[in-house]
Amino acid sequence: MKTVVLGAGVIGITTAYYLNKAGHDVTVVERNAHAGLETSYANGGQLSYSYVAPLAGPGVVPKIPPWLLRRDSPLRFYPKFDLDQWRWCLAFVAACNRPQAEISTVHLLRLAYYSRDMIHDIVAHENITFDYRRNGKLVIFSDQDSFDGARKTLDFQREHGSLQEAFSKQQVLTKEPALQHIESRISGGIYTPSEDAGDCHDFCVAMETLLRERGVKFLTGTSIDKIERAAHSRSIRAIHTSQGEIQADAYVMALGAANARVAKSLGFYLPIYPLKGYSLTLATKGFSGAPHISVTDGKFKVVYALLGDELRIAGMADIAGYDRSLEADRVSLLIAQAKATFPDAADYSADLKPWAGLRPATPKGTPIIGKSPFDNLYLNTGHGALGWTLACGCAKVVADTIEGKSTAIALDGLTL
Ligand SMILES: Cc1cc2nc3c(=O)[nH]c(=O)nc-3n(C[C@H](O)[C@H](O)[C@H](O)COP(=O)(O)OP(=O)(O)OC[C@H]3O[C@@H](n4cnc5c(N)ncnc54)[C@H](O)[C@@H]3O)c2cc1C
């Protein structure tokens, strides 16, 4: 079966991997020079299988007005004359309630645990390196209310298989002594030993090399201009690219945030909107103050992961359309937060490699995988803040769906 994967981010590359394993003749079409150069490039690096609760949580709506007014807010809204932006925001607000958040969390946990099994299998059987570590994660809180809320989530998640522990301030500092500089604002933490970390871009590059060796064709530097519907059936006839027309038996849309507009051109709605985030990458060699386990700072919603001898720092969610430019005040804010938290992690006057990417986010936080309204077009999109974590599980599910096999996990809440 000839299958074309549209896009070579971490979602497209993992989809190509499982399709190749299943014996398909796979072609990957990507506008950049190689895989993993857009949202999968410098993300937070956390493989966060047990920390999947959606952004649309029960206490979020009252926090939105103060967040929008503060300059140091983790969330920023830039209103646009764009119906899709407002439609997405309204659906997001509607999803901000406990029952919906719990339903989404259960779906995401099921998918994340499956993904963990899949990536562990890849790590065990493929000869690839991407600064992968099984180092656990600590989420720290700076006020009692947030910590109490996190403990409730922990109890809920425990019923669904998460192994997490609530830590006192002292336990937090014992687990990660590099947090000593912010000791006075730590009220407690949640420790999850089973979380991993790894460099998503290095993973994409290593997988591209592996797949090329196995016969997967990569049409890089090739932009997809149009997907053409068949005249007399509900299927796709061809894709039109800068290198000409391509026909296949099946097509997988893995274009990240760009999927929403492509779906629109085909006449169906994908509830996906870009949430812009920022990251920094610090060289920690010669410095002793970087955290050894992954850390999420609940107060500022900033994540830290040690990738080899670099510290990746990521955060912010700006509802700002499709613009990927770096805003100086957002970069400065992230630097200030990182420096206050881990002042001895690196030389903060060096190049901190600021970067911004567009999370392909759905209002409920759950991705959209599997069948589309077209017989031979499949979806693998909407992974938001968890695309690296969920990639391998979603890719296997999509490959099994194309094969007509039953999937290893139930897909309720995860399809269009
Ligand atoms: C700041 C930040 C921090 C994050 N931290 C984490 C984290 O710690 N853990 C986690 O699990 N996830 C994290 N994420 C989320 C994760 O990075 C994304 O969910 C994931 O990278 C999305 O992958 P993708 O393949 O769908 O999109 P992309 O990586 O954007 O891939 C889509 C590909 O499609 C190509 N494409 C698009 N349009 C066309 C076209 N017309 N023609 C040809 N090619 C095209 C693009 O060039 C791109 O390569 C973070 C995201 C951000 C922004």
Asked if the structure places residue 322 within a domain, the reply is: yes
| 315 CA: nearest ligand 1 atom | 1
Asked if the structure places residue 31 within a domain, the reply is: no
Is there a contact between 341 and 291 (Cβ–Cβ < 8 Å)?
A: no
Rounded Cα distance, 315 and 303, in Å: 6
The total of other beta-carbon atoms located within 10 Å of residue 342's CB is: 27
Nearest alpha carbon, ligand 1 atom 4: 43
For residue 58, the model assigns a pLDDT of 87
Length in residues, the chain: 416
Classify residue 274 by its DSSP letter: E
Range of the domain at 92: 57-96+133-196+272-361
Per-residue pLDDT of the chain (416 residues; tens, 9 = 90+): 999 999 999 999 999 999 999 999 999 999 999 999 999 999 999 999 999 989 998 888 888 888 877 878 899 998 899 999 999 999 999 999 999 999 999 999 999 999 999 999 999 999 999 999 999 999 999 999 989 989 988 898 889 888 999 999 999 999 999 999 999 999 999 999 999 999 999 999 999 999 999 999 999 999 999 999 999 999 999 999 999 999 999 999 999 999 999 999 999 999 999 999 999 999 999 999 999 999 999 999 999 999 999 999 999 999 999 999 999 999 999 999 999 999 999 999 999 999 999 999 999 999 999 999 999 999 999 999 999 999 999 999 999 999 999 999 999 999 99
| 387 CA: nearest ligand 1 atom | 19
SS3 95: helix
| 390 CA: nearest ligand 1 atom | 11
CA dist list (Å): 74 to 93, 202, 278, 315, 396: 17, 27, 10, 7, 33
Asked if the structure places residue 4 within a domain, the reply is: no
Asked if the structure places residue 140 within a domain, the reply is: yes
For residue 56, the model assigns a pLDDT of 92
Torsion sign over Cα 77, 79, 83, 86: positive
Asked if the structure places residue 232 within a domain, the reply is: no
CATH of the domain at 317: 3.30.9.10
Distance of CA 216 to the CA centre of its chain: 24
Asked if the structure places residue 286 within a domain, the reply is: yes
4-25 exposure pattern, b = at least 16 Cβ within 10 A, e = fewer = bbbbbbbbbbbbbbbbbebebe
- What's the gap in Å between 216 CA and the centre of ligand 1? 21
Tokens 């493989």, residue located: 47
Q: Residue 142: how many CA atoms within 13 Å on its side-chain side?
A: 13
pTM above 0.95, yes or no: yes
**Ligand 1, pocket residues at CB < 6 Å:** 7-12, 29-32, 37-40, 43-46, 48, 223-224, 254-256, 258, 277-279, 303, 314, 357, 359-360, 383-389
Domain count across the chain: 1
Token code pair at residue 192? 């999850």
Which is nearest to 41 in space by CA: 383, 359, 416, 393?
A: 359
For residue 123, the model assigns a pLDDT of 98
Classify residue 293 by its DSSP letter: S
For residue 356, the model assigns a pLDDT of 98
Nearest alpha carbon, ligand 1 atom 5: 44
